[in-house]
A = this chain, B = another copy of it.
Amino acid sequence: MLTLHHLEYSQSFRILWLLEELGTDYELKLYARNKETYQAPDEYKTLSPLGSAPVITEGDLALAESSAIIDYVLDQHPESNLRPAIDDEDRVRYLFWFHASQGSMMMVLIMEAVFQILIQRVPFWMRGLIRGVLGQASERMIKPRMEKLLQLAEKDLAQKPWFGGDKLSAADIAMSYPMESARSRGFITDQHPNCLAWIERVHQNPSFQRAKEKDGKDSIVLQV
């Protein structure tokens, strides 16, 4: 049986949601972050060669990398329509957002998170200087890129309610973590009504709610 190793406030929440949406049998193991450093416990870091969340294990297999896990789980569930078929009219839209989730959204968000960590970790006397340099870099390299993504999301979500088209798909599940992060970090505002409506739609989804219950946290992303 497949075991999901779920690290609290991490990208692995998406796999929890996916498994709940599929209604399949799986074992869930929960891991807490260090309360001071927010790091994953050492036990988690040795689960897979990358040391990162999410990880699933099944027999001898230990698989990391969110999108690879999503495709692997969907391979085992050909009855599911979470991955639109090649001839589905929503296929291209699905492919774009499914891949943009890690390839663009998470990329921008992790860069911004690294900048924040850098600002907090430098000695106090150079904090102003570093904040200035990284703040400028953020204005020039991070914010415009995120805004382009959000504008495209606004446009696509104006046409159909889900990232994958008319129905909930794995593209929406993949996008849930970066979209919550983008809202939490102030990138998504009242200027992005369709993004906010999509987040609300996600929150109302029964399988998302079941996943949240098993997760047991107020938010799927860390609020710091």
Contact = CB atoms under 8 A, between A and B. Distances in A.
Interface in A84-111: 86, 91-92, 95-96, 98-100, 102-104, 106-107, 110-111
Contact of A102 (B95, B102, B126, B141): B102
Given A86-B75, A92-B61, A133-B126, A107 B106 contact: yes
A41 interface: no
Contact of A148 (B51, B92, B102): B51
A92 B86 CA distance: 20
Given A75-B91, A106-B107, A50 B148 contact: yes
A149 interface: yes
Contacts of A166: none
A65 B126 contact: no
B91 A68 contact: no
A209 interface: no
A11 to B, nearest CB: 10
A114 interface: yes
A63 interface: yes
A3 interface: no
* Number of copies of this kind of chain in the complex: 2
B49 A71 contact: no
Interface string A25-66: 000000000000000000000000111100000000101111
Interface centre among A68, A98, A111, A118 (most CB of B within 10 A): A68
A129 interface: yes
A122 interface: yes
23 contacts: A49-B151, A49-B152, A50-B104, A50-B149, A50-B152, A51-B148, A63-B92, A63-B96, A65-B100, A65-B104, A68-B92, A68-B95, A68-B98, A68-B99, A68-B100, A71-B99, A75-B91, A99-B102, A106-B107, A118-B134, A126-B133, A129-B129, A130-B133
Interface of A: 49-52, 61, 63-68, 71-72, 75, 78, 86, 91-92, 95-96, 98-100, 102-104, 106-107, 110-111, 114, 117-118, 122, 126, 129-130, 133-134, 137, 141, 145, 148-149, 151-152, 155
